[in-house]
Amino acid sequence: MSEPQRRDRLTVRVLLLDPDGRLLLMKGRFPGMPPQGAWFTVGGGAEPGETILQAAVREVQEETGFSDVQFGPVIWRSDGPLILPSGEPVMMREHFIVAQCAGGEPSRAGWEELERQLVLDLRWWSLDELRACTDVVYPAGLAALLPDVLDGRHPAEPVTIPWG
């Protein structure tokens, strides 16, 4: 039996940092994830015609309520198959972009009903907390990748990181 045809889904993942170097992560449960859920960065699929930056600005606003955000470069890329909550199989084309904001309590006011059902938590993480976390975190190895980001060391071109 052959692999189902998957459409490409241009996706932005935002490494949203506060002034203390904490990273905002969401915990959700989606098809193919552990039943207890997994932590992942803010972001989502680009709308037709959107650039990576436009999608990042929109997703951060919708998922956190933060609008005063400084966006940096896309530093990582990752591609892999995923089943969306709708059941559609897609090939994720993820772009990880660095961003900085003032921090504070994120707002869930812009969430759609499906996000309210599937997202279990949203919180800021220090590097030490992330290193000590025993939950599943995406992308895999985030705690090991984060020190360069926190120190402002970004690759000249996006680096491919493993999917999953």
Comparing 5-9, 29-33, 99-103, the range with the smallest average pLDDT is 29-33
Q: Which domain holds residue 51?
A: 7-160
In the chain, how many domains are there?
1
Note whether 112 and 86 are within 8 A (CB).
Answer: no
Q: What is the pLDDT of residues 140-151, one digit of tens each?
A: 999 999 999 999
Omega prior to 106 cis, within 30 of 0? no
**Does 92 reside within a domain?**
yes
Q: What is the mean pLDDT of residues 44-55?
A: 96
Q: Is residue 1 part of a domain?
A: no
Instruction: State the burial class of residue 75 (Cβ atoms within 10 Å of its Cβ: 0-12, 13-18, 19+).
Output: buried
Question: Would 71 be classed as within a structural domain?
Answer: yes
In a domain, 130, yes or no: yes
Flag whether pLDDT at 5 surpasses 90.
no
Whether 2 is covered by a domain: the verdict is no
Q: Are 69 and 100 in contact (CB under 8 A)?
A: yes
- State the Cα–Cα distance between residues 139 and 144, nearest whole angstrom: 10
Residues in the chain: 164
Domain contains 60 = yes
| CATH code where residue 57 lies | 3.90.79.10
